[in-house]
Structure 1
Amino acid sequence: MKKYILFDNDGVLVETEKYYYEANVRALNEFDLELNFDTYMEIMARGGNAWEVAIKAGVPKEEINIKRERRDIYYQELIREKNIEIDGVVETLEKLSHSYKMGIVTTSRRVDFDLVHNNRDIVKYMDFTLCVEEYPRSKPYPDPYLAGMKKFNASKAECIIVEDSQRGLTSAVNAGIECVTVYNEFTKTHDLSKASYKINSIKELTSLLKNL
């Protein structure tokens, strides 16, 4: 029986992934480098980062670090001004909170995560949140979700993960924990064939879990 739900954040609880891509595009453009969508999807799926494009072009590490800071500023500007709500998330979490303990396991930096969730009702339903600084290796390694499971002092059989990306799903598979993938237009080209379950909307999660 499932008792604990571990949620990915970006693309599952808030619609932020496209703005992170946009921020990377803007920063790389300042090097006169193009980051096309298909390239970014391939990088994202395997857990790489957009700076591979700059490294391949021979840009010095020091210059990349400067642009990385600019990228972070661009991203924060976007998530402040754009509508990043996903329909049905808060209502679904409210329903699930009566039957499950829940946590968020994200590859976001804590500073970005806190900015995203400032004045939102999502985190109040969570027992904990884990950001990229708070576990040894990021997705697609199993570390993030194993850390989440440990927080609950739970067994793998008692947990279920909710993801939207190939990188996140691979992390769940590597951790040996069942995973539900939620359809997201941004990650629709990712290979999600290893998911235990697939849903088209977060609003379907409640009924799915009732039948497990």
Structure 2
Amino acid sequence: MLKAIIFDVDGVLVDSMLFQADAWVEAFKEVGITITRKDIYELEGSNDTRLIKAVFEKAGKEPEPEHFEQLPERKREFLEFDRIKPFEGIPECLNELKQHFKLAMVSGSNRITVGKVVDKFFSGYFDVVVNGSDLERGKPDPDPYLKALEMLNLTKNECIVIENAPLGITAAKRAGLYCVAVASMLEPEAVQHADLVLEEHAALLDYLKNLIPAEPHAE
């Protein structure tokens, strides 16, 4: 029986990936590495440490220890946070869902950014929040989703995951969870390893609303 829904954040709950990617592009430019938005979209869901390692590796370079602190800090400074908004219909949908299910948020973003998103848009909605600063191993390792299960005190069969990123889907599947993907930033082919692929947020909202148990008819 479904008891909880676990949500990724960027690209699922909030329309933020464009701004997140542009901020990383600017931060990496300062250390002489040129990347594109698509490079970040493909790494979305990674925590800061894993993302930095992957970008340096692709550029054929080795990060210095200070990069792991300085680059996320510069990225936060470049991030146009005020332009980030929830996807249309998401807050209202969450409000309905939380009457029936526990809700969890699992993000690869760091504690500061996730905290700002929760405070601004989703205060009081989520029973559990796991961010990229909480665990050494982030997505695509299963640890973030296993941590959410532990905090929810539920089994894998009692939860589903809503994702949008290839690494996040891999993490959910490695944790043994049913994963629904919304193809919000990448083409549907890039997220085909999910159990179910929805091509846009309107379809996601319909799917989520259909999970709500029907009211019993009065005799």
**TM-score, normalising length: structure 2:** 0.82
Q: Deviations over 1:63-122 (max 9, x none)?
A: 6353442222212xx11x2142210111111111121111111111111111223232x2
The residue number in structure 2 matching 1:193 is 192
Alpha-carbon separation, structure 2, partners of 1:50 and 1:189: 26
Given that 2:9 and 2:105 are in contact with CA atoms closer than 8 Å, whether structure 1 keeps it comes out as yes
The residue number in structure 2 matching 1:106 is 107
The residue number in structure 2 matching 1:137 is 137
- Relative to structure 1, is the Cα distance of residues 189 and 99 closer, same or farther in structure 2, using a 3 angstrom cutoff? closer
- Relative to structure 1, is the Cα distance of residues 24 and 57 closer, same or farther in structure 2, using a 3 angstrom cutoff? same
| 1:171 counterpart SS class | helix
Given that 2:5 and 2:160 are in contact with CA atoms closer than 8 Å, whether structure 1 keeps it comes out as yes
Q: Which residue of 174, 189, 205 corresponds with 2:207?
A: 205
What's the offset of the Cα at 1:57?
5.4
Given that 1:24 and 1:50 are in contact with CA atoms closer than 8 Å, whether structure 2 keeps it comes out as no
Alpha-carbon separation, structure 2, partners of 1:85 and 1:46: 21
Q: Deviations over 1:129-182 (max 9, x none)?
A: 111222341011111111111112111111111111111100110001101112
Alpha-carbon separation, structure 1, partners of 2:152 and 2:72: 34
Structure whose residues are more often helix by fraction? 1
Alpha-carbon separation, structure 2, partners of 1:62 and 1:110: 20
| 1:141 counterpart SS class | coil
Q: Deviations over 1:21-55 (max 9, x none)?
A: 10111122223432123433444488852564446
Q: Percent sequence identity over matched residues?
A: 27
The residue number in structure 2 matching 1:64 is 67
The residue number in structure 1 matching 2:19 is 19
The residue number in structure 2 matching 1:169 is 169
Alpha-carbon separation, structure 2, partners of 1:166 and 1:60: 24
Answer yes or no: is 1:153 the counterpart of 2:156: no
Alpha-carbon separation, structure 2, partners of 1:153 and 1:46: 24
Aligned amino acid, residue 12 of structure 1: V
What's the offset of the Cα at 1:189?
6.2
The residue number in structure 1 matching 2:39 is 39
Given that 1:140 and 1:168 are in contact with CA atoms closer than 8 Å, whether structure 2 keeps it comes out as yes
Alpha-carbon separation, structure 1, partners of 2:109 and 2:189: 19
Kindly report the root-mean-square deviation, in angstroms, between the aligned alpha carbons of the 2 structures: 2.5
- Relative to structure 1, is the Cα distance of residues 207 and 198 closer, same or farther in structure 2, using a 3 angstrom cutoff? farther
Answer yes or no: is 1:87 the counterpart of 2:85: no
Structure 2: stretches of 5+ with no match in the other structure: 214-219
Aligned residue pairs total: 206
**TM-score, normalising length: structure 1:** 0.84
